[in-house]
Amino acid sequence: MSSFDKSTVISICKTVLICGLVLYLGSIIFFNDSDCPSSYLFSSLNFPIIIRSSNIAQTNNRTNINHLLFGILGSEKAWHHRKSYIESWWRPNITRGHLLLDVPPKGNLLPWSINSPPYKISDDVPKLVKETKHVDSRVLRMVHGIMEVFREEHEGVRWVIMGDDDSIFFVDNMVDILTQYDHTKYYYIGGHSEFILSNYWYSFHEAFGGAGIILSYPLARAFAKNIMSCLKRYSHLKSADRTTMLCISDIGVNLSPLQGIHQIDLRGDISGFLSYHPKSLLMSLHHFDMVDPIFPSMDRAQSSFHLQNAANYDQSRMLQQTICHKRSSNWTFSVSWGYSAHIYEKIMPRSWIQNPIVTFKTWQPSPSPPYYMFDVRSPSLDPCEAPHVFFFKSIEKTPRNEIVTTYTRAWPSGIGACLSTGNYSAEYVSEIHVYSPATKRIEIDRCECCDIIHEAGSSKADIKYRECKIDEIIA
């Protein structure tokens, strides 16, 4: 072959290669167009775009709020004072689902609030009791309600979430958590009771449902299909959550527990619990009617909206505990983001300060400890161990793309200064400003660290959040 022929062949090969590459890149761009049906592309093109399509599945197929279907179990009588809890987090025309009432609403509930979930009336419970011979109509209504919610909407649903009307949910966190699970598999997700005996009496394997029972769509479908046979099989039980767990167990699925789902089987002042939240995304708080208002200057309804006000800015940090020290004055700061801040007049290790202070009471009388499913510490009148307490007051976004939350003193400590650390009293501090990034912090493999800015004698202290340094010790 002549040199001319060789150069001609090389030139032709280069041209073909370039044209093929251009066509391949064009097909990828065309494939990314959401208006182009993928079936047409696959039938008309033979280019190897499988790798590219898997990337699209990861970016465009992410779980979002539209994939969640909520069923809120309530009663017409209780809804008069509980609707504020649900309206604090419900997003009209965005959140999917409905409230399941026992009887039609009347009185001042009409006309129905556009800020409430749309309602539906439970199926004929007396008829179902007669058919299943169930001993408790209330239990039957709650368990059967899962099927009633599931049957209403199907398009795009990946997760069915059941809860009670005295709970508040943190939907963005739910989305971020559920994104980590394969919704095409069978998943039964929920939380334990905080009260040890409740788990012992019912089951350590059940989701306590008021705080949220989460079922993947395939599991919800299997559950709904077998609901009547299950209600007949367990017609003797007087616990809806236990019945639900047993029905799901018979399908071959066990509980996947999550720490951020809180039944709140506690009584009284739960500020000690909320101020030392476990290192997990907050998903729900139940039993708002059974505890004191979580903000001392507000009632329960106001408290739920106030907490959600912080959540509207950043759910990923809600109640997350961050600890830092002001060594020049021997102070330790503990912040439960969006809820409270504490100052201790002593350098405290995180291993001790992460345990909740028992400001609360047990769910039911119990003769002897242990009472709780988590480590606790007793309240103290020792000024070196008793914190100065501040509660969340306001929140705003700064021009520097930071979020600043302000916490104000709840009450004077009145127990004097910690003399063993140099008599640096924090009594005169009345306000704490916490600066955190405006970006989400979903991967909580480690707590954030922070720096304290405070001049001696100033009534205000600033806390600047930052990522911890490698191997930094928070002590």
Average pLDDT value for residue range 95-100: 97
3-state secondary structure of 23: helix
Terminal Cα distance for the chain, rounded: 80
Examine the fold and report which residue of 246, 262, 278 is the final residue of a domain before the chain moves on. 262
Judge whether 101 lies within some domain: yes
Question: Can you give the pTM of this predicted structure?
Answer: 0.86
**Model confidence at 337: pLDDT above 70:** yes
CATH of residue 95's domain is 3.90.550.50
Q: Do 421 and 432 touch, CB atoms closer than 8 A?
A: no
Kindly state whether residues 174 and 72 are assigned to the same domain: yes
**Are 235 and 107 part of one and the same domain?**
yes
Q: Angle at CA 235, nearest 5°, toward 232 and 236?
A: 150
Same domain flag for 71 and 219: yes
Please, are residues 334 and 344 in contact by the beta-carbon 8 Å criterion? yes
Residues 319 and 228 sit within 8 Å (Cβ to Cβ): no
Whether the link from the prior residue into 104 is cis, omega within 30° of 0, is no
User: Which of 262, 277, 296 is a domain's end point?
Assistant: 262
Q: Judge if 72 and 211 occupy the same domain.
A: yes
Least confident piece of the model among 39-43, 178-182, 452-456 = 39-43
DSSP string, 234-261: TTT---HHHHHHHHHHHHT--EEE-TTE
Amino acid at 155: E
**C-alpha dist (Å) from residue 204 to 79, 186, 207, 246:** 30, 19, 8, 12
- Parent domain of 371: 318-464
Query: Are residue 341 and residue 418 in the same domain, yes or no?
Result: yes
Identify the burial level of 293 via C-beta atoms within 10 angstroms of its C-beta, where 0-12 means exposed, 13-18 middle and 19 or more buried: middle
Could you report the per-residue pLDDT of 345-397, keeping only the tens digit for each? 999 999 999 999 999 999 999 989 999 999 999 999 999 999 999 999 999 99
Q: Is residue 18 included in any domain, yes or no?
A: no
Is residue 42 in a domain?
A: no
Distance CA 277, CA 259 (A): 9
- Residues 345 and 445 reside in one and the same domain: yes
Residue 134 half-sphere exposure toward CB, CA atoms < 13 A: 29
Band of residue 11 on the pLDDT scale cut at 50, 70, 90: low
Q: Are residues 243 and 324 in the same domain?
A: no
Among 228, 262, 296, identify where a domain stops.
Answer: 262
Sequence-distant (≥ 6) Cβ neighbours of residue 462 within 8 angstroms = 432, 433, 434, 435, 452, 453, 454
The domain total for the chain is 2
Give kind and range of the element (H or E) at residue 164.
strand 159-164
Specify if 23 maps to a domain: no
Provide the residue type at 129 as one letter.
V
pLDDT band at 294 (very low <50, low <70, confident <90, very high): very high
Identity of the residue numbered 465: Y
CB 263 within 8 A of CB 194: yes
Would you give the DSSP letter of residue 84? Answer: H
Q: Same structural domain for residues 377 and 232? A: no
Same domain assignment for residues 217 and 362 = no
Domain assignment present for residue 6? The answer is no
The answer to whether residue 53 is domain-embedded is no
Dist CA 219 CA 189 (whole Å): 11
Say whether both 248 and 349 belong to one domain. no
Beta bridge partners of 284: 169, 261
Any domain includes 155 = yes
Asked if the structure places residue 168 within a domain, the reply is: yes
Query: Does residue 1 surpass a pLDDT of 70?
Result: no
Q: What is the mean pLDDT of the chain?
A: 89
pLDDT, residue 236, reads: 98
pLDDT at 25 over 60: no
Calculated CA dihedral for residues 375, 381, 384, 385, nearest 10 degrees: 10
* Residue owning tokens 């969006």: 338
Q: How many residues does the chain have?
A: 475
Burial of residue 376, with CB atoms counted within 10 A of its CB: 0-12 exposed, 13-18 middle, 19 or more buried: middle
> 471: how many CB neighbours lie within 10 A of its CB?
5
Claim to verify: residue 74 and residue 197 sit in the same structural domain: yes
Q: Note whether 241 and 334 are same-domain residues.
A: no
